[in-house]
Structures are given as C-alpha cells and as structure tokens.
A = this chain, B = another copy of it.
Amino acid sequence: MATMRDVARRAGVSAKTVSRVFNRDPHVSPVTKERVETALRELSYTPTTLATTFRSGRAPVLGVAVPDIADPFFGALAKAVESLAAVQRMSVVMTSLGEDPMREPAIVQSLLRQSLSGLVIAPIAADQSYLDVWAARTQLVFVDRRAAGIVADSFTEDDHAGARAATRHLVEHGHVRIGFLGDSTAIPTSRGRLVGYRAALLDAGIEYDESLVVLGALDRASAAAAFSALERLDQPPTAIFASNARVTMSLVPVLRAHRQLAVAGFGDFPMADMLEPSVTVIDQDPTALGTLAAQRILDRMAHPQRRYRRHTVLPVQLVERASCLPGG
C-alpha cells in the first residue's frame, strides 16, 4: 500500500502537497496537480483512515450495543443506525451484550476504547454509571431503555401506554382473568409494561391478582411451563398479555393448543399477521428508534452547545388482529 510520502517522492513534491491534491484543496497549481494526480494513479494510492483517526482522536464510527443483534427488533434498529452513519461516511461497530448484566461494562468499554464518535446502547444492566467517564469523549444515546446511574439522552417506546392499551383491548373483549407473561422485572422495560397492565385493570375495575403474573418465559419450553402454571389456577386466565415479542413468539405453540385463549403481545414480529389466529400486538418501531438515536448523535456532534430533549418517548400503536376476537 502506497503512502502519501511514496506518492510525494514519485511526483517530486512534499507529502503535504499530495494531501492537498487528494483533498481538492484549490491552492495547488494546475501543473503540480497534474503531476501528483498521475503519481496517485500510478501507485493506486488508497488512504488509510487509521492515521487521520489517530490524529483526530476520534474514529468515524458509531457503536451499537444491544442485547442480541440476531433479534429482528435490534437488527432493524442497527440497520437504521447504519443507514444514517453511511450518509456521513461512518461505519457501525456492533456488539451483542448477551444475557449476563455483569458482563455489560466490560463489553461496552472494550467498544469505547476504540474512541467511537457515538454509541447507541440498549442496556441490560441495572446501572450504567460506569459510562460516566466516557460521556465526555463519546456521545451516548440510550434506546429501548433509559439510562440508570447516569444522565444521557434516551429514546424509548411508551411501555406504560402500550401495555395499558393492549390490556384494555383484552378487557373490551370481555376478558376479566388476564394473565401477564413476562421475562424478568429486573428489566425496566418489563417493569413499565407491568405497571401499564395494572393500570388497565384498575381502569376497568378489575382487581389485580398477583398469581396471574408469571415471569421467566424466555423460550418455547419456559413459556409452556409458565402457561401451565397459569392453567392450574382455580380461575385460569382466559386471556394473556405477553410483555415482549420474544415472549409472544414463545407462546405461539401454546396458542395453537388452546384456541380459545385470547392474546395480545407487546412488540410486532414477522409472520404475526399470518398465524392462526393472527396475533394482536403493540407495534414498536425499531427503525424509528435507531434513526432518532443516530440522528441525535450526529446532531450533538455538529452542534455541541445546542440543548436537546433528554428523554423522548415514542408513542406505540395497537395493531388489532384476530387473537382476541371472541371465539378466536
């Protein structure tokens, strides 16, 4: 790989002049420009971003840290970030945080050591105060979940209103015994949705029954186990609110076995409309989350002094399908 100094030697000029020609600096005489351009072509010069990055101390790279990059929700989010980054000729490094909250700091910090321009993070740990020292160097934007232990921008969906709307929808279809199936209330998102669920029950004058709340539904096996726990109750639920798309998807086999069961889930997923019954969901918009988060990073880089809204909560929408229709 030829460097600028190689090109300079060949063209009989200084490296700086090559730099000027390469960056279309007008202060170069046509003759010199011609000579340099020939040398550039002959050596097929390709710049390394490494040197510029090192000098500026900031890589033209945005980071994306999410629980699982293979999850369609986060995949769409990452794709949106990447689209905006591409416009600014930036790259995207991504990392999956996995399941273990303890590992989050190590994983995220190894990303940050690369002097990213910005980081979009959907955290899994209960505390992000470890990010405090990095905030001065890197634009941090939280998505899906707010930051804890540190002040930072966030873009989240309206968990409370969404869960409330979904639950109300079930109530309006005549259900009184409504189960809540979730993963873990350690995650703020789930907690918010549980609160929304309770609010809807309160609205309808239905008493909250803790035994209807079952957590730990992470895959098909655990979802089935969680459901059979509900089924064994004296008054088993006739409807279920699933607190996220993964739970809903895990629950699909159960739905096929219990056709009379009504379901509404938080988070749309591929093929939800093609199942029988098609599944009523609260539609989230990962693309919007990713786009807004990336845009905020770019805005803050361009206008550091400007003031921004700290927390943005995106409205969510009920997508009514067949899974809570009477007899559905």
Q: Please report which residues of chain A, range 1-52, place their CB below 8 angstroms from some CB of chain B when the two chains form the complex.
A: 1, 44, 46-51
Residues of B contacting A82 in the complex (Cβ-Cβ under 8 angstroms): 69, 94-96
Minimal beta-carbon separation of A41 from chain B (angstroms): 14
Q: Are B61 and A70 in contact (CB under 8 A)?
A: no
Closest residue of chain B to A62, judged by CB?
A: B93
Residues of B contacting A91 in the complex (Cβ-Cβ under 8 angstroms): 93, 95, 110-111, 114
Q: Does A300 contact B (CB under 8 A)?
A: no
A92 and B256 alpha carbons, distance in the complex (Å): 39
Q: Does A269 contact B (CB under 8 A)?
A: yes
Q: Please report which residues of chain A, range 218-271, place their CB below 8 angstroms from some CB of chain B when the two chains form the complex.
A: 249, 252-253, 256, 269-271
Closest residue of chain B to A73, judged by CB?
A: B70
Closest residue of chain B to A114, judged by CB?
A: B49
Q: Does A207 contact B (CB under 8 A)?
A: no
Q: Does A113 contact B (CB under 8 A)?
A: yes
Q: Does A89 contact B (CB under 8 A)?
A: yes
| Most chain B CB atoms below 10 A, which of A49, A69, A113, A137 | A69
Q: Does A75 contact B (CB under 8 A)?
A: yes
Residues of B contacting A93 in the complex (Cβ-Cβ under 8 angstroms): 61, 91-94
Residues of B contacting A109 in the complex (Cβ-Cβ under 8 angstroms): 46
Q: Please report which residues of chain A, range 43-73, place their CB below 8 angstroms from some CB of chain B when the two chains form the complex.
A: 44, 46-51, 53-54, 57, 59, 61, 68-72
A95 and B93 alpha carbons, distance in the complex (Å): 9
Residues of B contacting A253 in the complex (Cβ-Cβ under 8 angstroms): 274
Minimal beta-carbon separation of A80 from chain B (angstroms): 9
| Most chain B CB atoms below 10 A, which of A59, A78, A91, A269 | A91
Q: Are A113 and B270 in contact (CB under 8 A)?
A: no
A115 and B115 alpha carbons, distance in the complex (Å): 16
Residues of B contacting A269 in the complex (Cβ-Cβ under 8 angstroms): 270-271
17 pairs, CB–CB < 8 Å, chain A vs chain B: A46-B133, A50-B57, A50-B114, A51-B54, A61-B114, A70-B72, A70-B75, A70-B76, A70-B78, A79-B96, A86-B95, A92-B93, A249-B271, A253-B274, A269-B271, A271-B274, A274-B275
Give residues in A with beta carbon < 8 Å to B.
Answer: 1, 44, 46-51, 53-54, 57, 59, 61, 68-72, 75-76, 78-79, 82-83, 86, 89, 91-96, 107, 109-111, 113-115, 133, 137, 249, 252-253, 256, 269-272, 274-276
